[in-house]
């Protein structure tokens, strides 16, 4: 959802502050990657779900792809 607005804002204006928001958003999303299941976890684990994943994550792939081509994801601690 971040890429739809901030990605277009950056594409149109080339304002670097939008690019930084895109990269930070990608870093936050990448921190939710669970290598054992090879998924991006949608929500935190709770008593009902150990690693919930929903189809809505697919819309975030464009954000990650764009960042892989145009930015550097800085590691963040969760």
Mean pLDDT within 2-13: 95
The pTM score is 0.80
Closest CA to 43 of 35, 34, 27, 32: 32
Number of neighbouring beta carbons within 10 Å of residue 59? 12
Q: Over the chain, what is the mean pLDDT?
A: 89
What digits encode the pLDDT tens for the residues 27-62? 999 999 999 999 999 989 889 988 899 998 899 999
Structure tokens at 56: 């809505």
Per-domain residue ranges of the chain? 2-70
- CA 17 vs. chain centroid, Å, equals 17
Residue 65 to residue 60: CA distance in whole angstroms = 9
């Amino acid at each position: 959802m971040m890429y739809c607005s901030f990605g277009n804002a950056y594409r149109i204006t080339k304002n670097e502050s939008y690019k930084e928001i895109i990269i930070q958003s990608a870093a936050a999303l990448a921190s939710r990657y669970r290598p054992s299941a090879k998924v991006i976890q949608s929500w935190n684990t709770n008593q009902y779900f150990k690693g919930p994943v929903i189809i809505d994550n697919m819309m975030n792939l464009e954000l990650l792809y764009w960042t892989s081509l145009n930015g550097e994801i800085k590691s963040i601690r969760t």
